Structure 1
């Protein structure tokens, strides 16, 4: 997959490749262990980073990368061994150093929602190991995708926080 955006982004969430659950990821409860939801979400984000021009070649040639600063995962329905999974990514907002994304993990053939992940990623200068502005070409791609995704209805769950239900 190339590390550059060849055409204008679509007004739909990014669709990652269909993934399969690996047997060693199943825990003693018989479902996908919570840690591996993050592995799958991370793999999907890596695919989107490639489309934005921010994959391994970007790190090697230009010294930039991204780090996750914050992540909020909601587990909504169990995924089991043999379930094909597809992750959809919305690029919600960005500034010169940060990207706010929202991801949905869905059963790839039946379409039901298994989990969501909301993330704040930071652009890093890997030589200094500090947060740094995106280069102009990358910032331009991010802005184009953010604009395209703003035309798509927002999924339920953005901005949720962890709290006990209030008693009334």
Structure 2
């Protein structure tokens, strides 16, 4: 099994800086679109959100910029489910040039399943969404743990 390809796009001119490189903020935009696609894959699509008021909130993100990305390049995001519990997903997104293995950026994320009815409250995964979370976890169980998971920021000392 491989990580799930969740998003692909060309790097648009309006996303780049004066050097023709992808701006910092747009790496996160691309990873955000990948999270949206993951939600769709898990059954948390627009119709499900409208019917149940369930969604995912991002609790934490770690973003590593590994290699420069230039205007016009075709890139794709691959997503791996690292772990989950009743209400949370620990996911890893990696950004690649389309069809290439080298990771250009990495984003580790913690996502919380919420119900928005009557105020946002954490809620356990249920029904088809739970089934798909469990299926993805099983499919990704044998994948190696990515190098950029569990890192902290700090100076050696």
The answer to whether the superposition gives a TM-score over 0.5 is: yes
CA contact (8 A) 1:84 1:109 kept: no
Instruction: Compare the two structures and name the one with the higher strand fraction.
Output: 2
**Structure 2 unaligned regions, length at least 5:** none
Provide the residue aligned with 1:108 in structure 2.
Answer: 98
What is the CA–CA distance in structure 2 between the aligned matches of 1:80 and 1:158, rounded to whole Å?
A: 25
What is the CA-CA distance between 1:105 and the residue it aligns to? Answer: 0.3
What is the CA–CA distance in structure 1 between the aligned matches of 2:127 and 2:87, rounded to whole Å?
A: 11
How many residue pairs were aligned? 156
2:153 aligned residue (121, 138, 162): 162
CA contact (8 A) 1:63 1:125 kept: yes
What is the CA–CA distance in structure 2 between the aligned matches of 1:138 and 1:58, rounded to whole Å?
A: 9
Provide the residue aligned with 1:57 in structure 2.
Answer: 47
CA contact (8 A) 2:7 2:78 kept: no
Provide the residue aligned with 2:110 in structure 1.
Answer: 120
Say if 1:147 and 1:109 are closer, same or farther in 2 by CA, change over 3 A. Answer: closer
What is the CA–CA distance in structure 2 between the aligned matches of 1:56 and 1:35, rounded to whole Å?
A: 25
Deviations 1:37-92 (A, max 9, x none): 01101111211211110121111111100010000000010101011101110011
**Structure 1 unaligned regions, length at least 5:** 1-10
Provide the residue aligned with 1:96 in structure 2.
Answer: 86
1:140 aligned residue (131, 134, 139): 131
CA RMSD of aligned residues (A): 1.4
* TM-score normalised by L of structure 2: 0.93
